[in-house]
């Protein structure tokens, strides 16, 4: 697997995508900068994605900022020893509390989040979604940003659905199953296509909707 690990990788992937699907040349021109968004693999990175489930990016950043101050360092052990008041103070919903605790327990019991980054996407997603609180979107985003996986497209993401729909003139926006089929034509660069359409959405709406990749931003 060729890891997406640099801005040069992003540029090469965008070039390849535009050859695969010439419609994306216009999307690329309108999207502006397409960030790398690369985080260190591990519990903290996965926790930040869990926090960002089904909330705006601004809300996710605020909640995660409070959580990392209350549970410092943010480790499985720290989460397992945190009291309910800490989760409430951070602003975490009950489902996210349960998800973080389940992931912390899984990691403490041997789930190797670093090793998952070296696996085939399907195998890694199957292992992750076996843990309560980790759905396909969360697993896919972890592989995109912690593993730099080149060929993952989180088709359940509403911002991606909106961006693809607007860019390609699909109204109403393509639902998950339609978007999965559309994205298949962008393989093996679906991870680059994800970043491209998140960047397009940012320019379209004036706000960043991509999940956070908050530890390491490499040039």
Residue 185 and residue 16 in contact, taking contact as beta carbons nearer than 8 Å: no
The per-residue pLDDT for range 174-213, each reduced to its tens digit, is 999 999 999 999 999 999 999 999 999 999 999 999 988 7
Of 92, 108, 96, the residue nearest 132 (C-alpha): 96
Query: Which of the pair, 1 or 21, is modelled with greater confidence?
Result: 21
Which residue in this structure is represented by tokens 């991509």? 210
Give the pLDDT score at 1: 64
The per-residue pLDDT for range 48-87, each reduced to its tens digit, is 999 999 888 999 999 999 999 999 999 999 999 998 899 9
Question: 81-108: buried (b, 16+ CB within 10 Å) or exposed (e) per residue?
Answer: ebeeebbeebebeeebbebbbbbbebbe
- Domains belonging to the chain, first-starting first, are 7-36+151-205 (1.10.1670.40), 43-145 (1.10.340.30)
């Amino acid at each position: 697997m060729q890891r997406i690990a640099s801005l040069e990788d992003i540029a090469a992937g965008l070039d390849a995508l535009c050859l695969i699907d010439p419609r994306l040349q216009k999307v690329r021109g309108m999207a502006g900068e397409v960030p790398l968004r690369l985080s260190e693999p591990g519990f903290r990175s996965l926790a930040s994605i869990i926090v960002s489930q089904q909330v705006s990016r601004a809300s996710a950043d605020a909640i995660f900022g409070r959580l990392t101050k209350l549970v410092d360092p943010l480790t499985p052990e720290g989460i397992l020893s945190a009291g309910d008041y800490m989760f409430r103070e951070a602003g975490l919903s009950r489902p996210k509390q349960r998800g973080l605790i389940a992931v912390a327990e899984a990691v403490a019991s041997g789930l190797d989040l670093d090793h998952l980054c070296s696996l085939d996407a399907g195998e890694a997603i199957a292992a992750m979604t076996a843990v309560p609180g980790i759905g396909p979107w969360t697993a896919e985003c972890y592989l995109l940003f912690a593993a730099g996986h080149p060929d993952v497209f989180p088709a359940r993401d509403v911002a991606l659905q909106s961006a693809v729909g607007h860019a390609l003139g699909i109204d109403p926006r393509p639902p998950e199953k339609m978007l999965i089929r559309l994205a298949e034509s962008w393989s093996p660069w679906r991870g680059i296509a994800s970043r491209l359409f998140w960047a397009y959405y940012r320019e379209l709406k004036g706000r960043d909707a991509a999940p956070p990749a908050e530890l390491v931003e490499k040039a």
